Amino acid sequence: MTFTDILPLLFPLFQFFKKNTWNIKYKRLFGLVSYFFLILWATFAIYYELLEKDFVNVILLTLMILFVSYLLYKNPRMLERRFIVNTISIAVLIYFPAKLFDSFIGTLTNATAYFAYLLSKNLVANINFEYTVINSWEYSYKFTFACTGLQSIALVISPILAADFRKYWKKALGVSVLIYLLNMVRSVGVIYGVEVLDIDYYLLHTLVMKFFSIVVIIIIFYYVLSTTKELAEELKGMINEAIKTLF
Centroid of chain to Cα 243: 24
Q: Residue 161 forms beta bridges with which residues? A: none
Which alpha helices (DSSP H) does 9-106 contain, by range?
Answer: 10-19, 24-51, 55-74, 82-105
pLDDT confidence of residue 237: 87
139: left (phi over 0), alpha (psi -120 to 50) or beta: beta
Q: What is the pLDDT of residues 48-59, one digit of tens each?
A: 889 888 888 899
pTM: 0.86
170-187 pLDDT, tens per residue?
A: 999 999 999 999 988 888
Give the whole-angstrom CA distance, residue 245 versus residue 219: 27
Beta-bridge partners for 140: 132
- Residues 242 and 111: their CA atoms lie apart, in Å, by 41
pLDDT in tens, 195-247: 888 888 888 888 888 888 889 999 999 999 888 888 989 888 888 888 888 77
Please state the domain extents for the chain.
Answer: 1-80, 104-247
